[in-house]
Structure 1
Amino acid sequence: MIAIIEQWEVGASDCHTDHTVKYLFLTLAKLGMDMMVFYLCCRKLSTSFLNTCSVSIILADALLPFSITCVWFLGVERSPVSLCFILANVSAMYAALPLPMMILGLMDYYLKDTYLCNQSTVCKYLTNAVLTLLGWMLAGIYAFGSVETELRGLEYMTQIMALGCKVSESKVIFYFIWVLLTVFICTMLPFCPSIPQWLKEANRLSVVGGELENQWRDMSIISANCTETKSCNEKDLEGLIHPRPPLWFSIMLAFSAFWMPYFAASVICEIFSFGEPAYITVNLLWVECTNSLLMGVVFWTKSSTHEPYNHLPENVCSWHVFWYLSQGPQQWQLPKTVLNPPEEKRTPVFYV
């Protein structure tokens, strides 16, 4: 895609427009959005690789508007690099990041319980930092050797000429969104009549789980009122619906219940040709969506019919609630920390 840097009207010397300030505001808006997403989704720093990637993207987002500001203040004559040079190289770097990030993130979660990842917290942070830095370095080498940084003259509209430069889009994110959306639609069609019931039941399980956690908080009360608590649990759970969704579909439902608005907004932008360069589409919304997808895959493959996998960092998707939705009330007596995180860490199942 072409980023318009300057434009002017043919025959009118006073109708020259420089878009540098617009790119500055655009990158600042993206930085603000990523910081807000990081605050909402990553309140507690974890030792996962994708969490370190999130921090690195915020730092890169802060460096980009700073560079554009320097070019703007220095001017074309005094600036050592042009705005086209910055946008072309940065977009190519961002476009090269998603695939290695997804591969390394999946390996990080799968190897979490192995000897290779049995390290101290400091070592894990250092390892993730080195891998992230290596990824950015390789992306930079790829960008500097493959991009075109020369301005192109083109007729933008009738009687309007423009100077633009070629910036890269992220094909990986494009296929990531369309492939996942297609898979979700195709797999959900056979279950459409039951999906509203299952979503309602998942919300009910989340509420009941919070009530049971409050009952189980005081162990002396439990020992004195064991029979009463048990009957209460059975009463709360007897409304579980039949048939229950299979585990793989339940995990998919947990993922789509939170991230479907993101997919819908991305698809709308593509349908109406609202092209976005890679330095905009590779953001923390996509990183957190990818993080949830990889967590869901690991949770599904490592959970059993008797207990859910319990060694993943905190995430916005309610994996354990939907695991209980699939397995039924006979598994409810597992430890409360499996089903219910602390009240301040619990996230709603549905978002609009």
Structure 2
Amino acid sequence: MLAVLETWEEEGRRWQDHTLLYLSLIGFKVGLNALTLVLCSQSLRRSFMGLSGASLCLVDVLLLCGTAYIWLFRQHLNAASSLCLLLSHSSTVYSLLPLPFLLLGALDYCATLSPVSRPTSLHRTRSCCLVLLSIWALACVYSYHCTDSEVIIATDGEPMLLCTVQDSAVVLYFCAGTSLAIAAVLLYYSQRAPECFRTALRLSRQWDASPPVPHCDLPLSYRKAPQPAAAEQAEGLPDPPLLLRFTLGFSLYWIPFLGVNMACRLLNLATPSYVTVNLLWVLCANSVLIGTVLWFQSRQPGPCGNPPDDTCRWSVYKLQSGDESKLQEKLSQGIYTLSSRDTDKLLYV
């Protein structure tokens, strides 16, 4: 993939610098990151994927500062060479990040996701930060040895200065694979999909409307679980399959993002990796990983605890009438009190 740095202006007989265009593009990405952080920032410190998204936002700010420096001091610099150096190396580094983010994020959730929420330890957060620093450092070392940052002078047709940049094949395959998986699940459960979609939309609205009940003595947050509609309970309809519930719950939030990415690819719009590897993609991948791990753990009845996801309501879509009945069967029906012999062993302070 080639990025256009400068083109020849026929009227003024001079080169036209495109640095401001790249500055605007990266600035839009940083602004989108800031808006996303305002809306979805509660769970970033609770998982490896969340910390990966935070590190990506920080590097995006550094990339914006570097581009702004080149544009402000372009009269004293070789703007084309400096911008090519920055864009080529950054695109190489960004293109290497998605695969380790996905693999290590999946391992992290396989080891930590459970029905009971636990507070994130400081040691685990430090370990994730060290792993992230290692990933960024290795990507930078690879880019330093393997990236071609030479400016290409095109003489065929309109004269222009070009630079080689990389796209992210992992992001493309991820979006395409996720879209195909959603289509396959909806096609397989096509008869029950409309009913389940209405239920998922209603449950999501009820969840958003019900405020959490704080408990300061436990590392858990509670909400009143939305109940199935009275008509559905009266009809005695079985709950939709968990795979269909999770797929529709994910699709409510992430189908527009996946659609935009696939449309850009189908329209053959060139998007370098420093654009496609963004915080929204990290949050989308985070939801995919959480939903996949929770689906594999679906034999455990009850809610999903409090997974580190600020978008999809996994616990609401899992805990429905059938799961509630299974959970009630496992609860004891007796009432127990302390006897006098037990109270003698209590320690009074």
TM range (shorter): 0.7 to 0.9
> How many residues in Structure 1 have an aligned counterpart in Structure 2?
313
Equivalent in 307, 316, 319 of residue 321 of structure 1: 316
- 1:96-175 → structure 2 map (5 Å cutoff): 96-112=96-112, 121-155=121-155, 158=157, 160-175=158-173
Equivalent in 285, 288, 291 of residue 286 of structure 2: 291
The whole-number CA distance in structure 1 between the counterparts of 2:205 and 2:119 is 37
Identify the residue that residue 91 of structure 1 maps to in structure 2: 91
The answer on whether the counterparts of 1:170 and 1:278 sit within 8 Å (CA) in structure 2 is yes
- 1:223-238 → structure 2 map (5 Å cutoff): 235=230, 238=233
Unaligned runs of 5+ in 1: 218-231, 335-352
Sort the Cα spacing of 1:311 and 1:178 in 2 relative to 1 into closer, same or farther, 3 A.
same
1:193 aligns with 2:191: yes
Letter of the 1:278 partner, please give it.
Answer: S
Identify the residue that residue 182 of structure 1 maps to in structure 2: 180
1:165-192 residue CA offsets vs partner (Å, 9 max, x unmatched): 0000001001111112112212211322
**TM-score scaled by structure 1?**
0.79
Identify the residue that residue 255 of structure 1 maps to in structure 2: 250
Sort the Cα spacing of 1:95 and 1:258 in 2 relative to 1 into closer, same or farther, 3 A.
same
For 2:178, what is the secondary structure of its paired residue?
A: helix
Alpha-carbon shift at residue 313 of structure 1 (Å):
2.1
1:187-246 residue CA offsets vs partner (Å, 9 max, x unmatched): 2113223212111122334566789989x99xxxxxxxxxxxxxx989476157734322
The answer on whether the counterparts of 2:6 and 2:161 sit within 8 Å (CA) in structure 1 is yes
1:30-65 residue CA offsets vs partner (Å, 9 max, x unmatched): 000011112211235432111111111111010011
Alpha-carbon shift at residue 125 of structure 1 (Å):
2.0
1:251-292 residue CA offsets vs partner (Å, 9 max, x unmatched): 222212211111111111111111110000000110000000
Letter of the 1:201 partner, please give it.
Answer: T
The answer on whether the counterparts of 2:200 and 2:249 sit within 8 Å (CA) in structure 1 is no
Equivalent in 263, 275, 280 of residue 280 of structure 1: 275
The whole-number CA distance in structure 1 between the counterparts of 2:321 and 2:154 is 58
> Which of the pair is proportionally richer in helix?
1
For 2:73, what is the secondary structure of its paired residue?
A: helix
The whole-number CA distance in structure 1 between the counterparts of 2:208 and 2:64 is 44
**TM-score scaled by structure 2?**
0.80
Sort the Cα spacing of 1:85 and 1:244 in 2 relative to 1 into closer, same or farther, 3 A.
same
Alpha-carbon shift at residue 109 of structure 1 (Å):
1.2
Sort the Cα spacing of 1:241 and 1:128 in 2 relative to 1 into closer, same or farther, 3 A.
farther
Segment drifting more, 234-243 vs 89-98: 234-243
1:87-108 residue CA offsets vs partner (Å, 9 max, x unmatched): 0000000000000011111111
Sort the Cα spacing of 1:208 and 1:84 in 2 relative to 1 into closer, same or farther, 3 A.
closer
RMSD of Structure 2 on Structure 1 (CA):
3.1
Letter of the 1:172 partner, please give it.
Answer: V
The answer on whether the counterparts of 2:105 and 2:289 sit within 8 Å (CA) in structure 1 is yes
For 2:319, what is the secondary structure of its paired residue?
A: helix
